[in-house]
Chain A
Amino acid sequence: GAVVSQHPSWVICKSGTSVKIECRSLDFQATTMFWYRQFPKQSLMLMATSNEGSKATYEQGVEKDKFLINHASLTLSTLTVTSAHPEDSSFYICSARPLSIGDFRPSYEQYFGPGTRLTVT
């Protein structure tokens, strides 16, 4: 259980084009999904937090007009990199927090997707 998928697993696009990455929770509903960026040999950096049906919350320094996030349902969130440039090349990882009704204890529970390798040429 608690499987998160990402599509595509890798993508190559030309500079100036846009690319969309999908994140799906396959066997659970997710109130919250997170998008991370990971550079080679480095840690995960949180880009934004998205809640179903509302606007995403972006971390400081992340351009919201460049990284468009849509969380249209409890099982799907998408990240669109607009007008991509070579410096946007990176490994993008999503995670999903299961829906928890009535439980307000901190858990930080989240399940991670396998990641999407984006290369902008």
Chain B
Amino acid sequence: AQSVTQPDIHITVSEGASLELRCNYSYGATPYLFWYVQSPGQGLQLLLKYFSGDTLVQGIKGFEAEFKRSQSSFNLRKPSVHWSDAAEYFCAVGAETSYDKVIFGPGTSLSVIP
């Protein structure tokens, strides 16, 4: 069965430092992968997605992610974190059996120290 794991429950970084959030997936074929951010009082927002092609994907707010098939990973990165990046981050994979369903990972909570 498909699944998504995010090994880090909570991460704290200093403002201006680089960030990497880890995501591993289990999928039978070429996966459709996503990163979402959830801020208090706001709906989940799509940061970026990977369907095919270039394995380094650029997203909004300065985020990027790299798809590594050999490692079944899709880690999210940002070179310099801003205090406003503090939020919950979810990695997700599109369900194999449905073009509608998205399976979410457990999430990583990001705190940013001024």
Contact = CB atoms under 8 A, between A and B. Distances in A.
A113 B100 contact: no
A110 B34 CA distance: 11
B28 to A, nearest CB: 14
Nearest to B43: A112
Given A106-B32, A106-B94, A108-B34, A114 B43 contact: yes
Contacts, number: 51
Given A93-B44, A106-B94, A114-B43, A34 B100 contact: yes
Interface string B69-108: 0000000000000000000001000100001111111110
Contacts of B43: 4, 93, 95, 111-115
Interface size class for chain A?
20 to 34
Interface string B13-33: 000000000000000000010
A32 interface: yes
A43 B102 contact: no
Interface residues of B, number: 22
B41 interface: yes
Interface in A26-66: 32, 34, 41-44, 46, 49
A57 to B, nearest CB: 10
A71 interface: no
B101 A49 contact: yes
A50 B102 CA distance: 14
B100 A32 contact: yes
A95 B84 CA distance: 24
Contact of A112 (B44, B99, B100): B44
A34 B43 CA distance: 13
Nearest to B98: A49
Contact of B90 (A43, A97, A107, A111): A43
A49 B100 contact: yes
